[in-house]
Amino acid sequence: MDANRLQKYIRISYSVAGNVVTFPVTKRVTKTVTEFYDVAPFPNYKDNDSKATILERGNKNPLS
């Protein structure tokens, strides 16, 4: 659906960047969680981890 056509259906403010529609974060809990993951996106993951490296590490883990 064309993002401009959304105006007919959505009554709250939003923005569009590269065909991705985003809405403002207004709830305190959501803001707190978002800020946490901005600082530490995925604890114990390396910056260069990918889906493949995470799966490989998990497959080698006897507990998983």
pLDDT tens digit sequence for 34-47: 898 888 777 778 88
Torsion of CA 20, 25, 27, 28, to 10 degrees: 130
Looking at residue 31, its pLDDT comes to 92
pLDDT tens digit sequence for 12-60: 888 888 888 888 888 999 999 989 888 877 777 888 888 899 899 889 9
pTM: 0.42
Distance CA 54, CA 64 (A): 12
Structure tokens at 26: 């207004």
The DSSP 8-state label assigned to residue 16 in this structure reads E
Closest CA to 19 of 38, 39, 42, 1: 1
Residue 12 and residue 23 in contact, taking contact as beta carbons nearer than 8 Å: yes
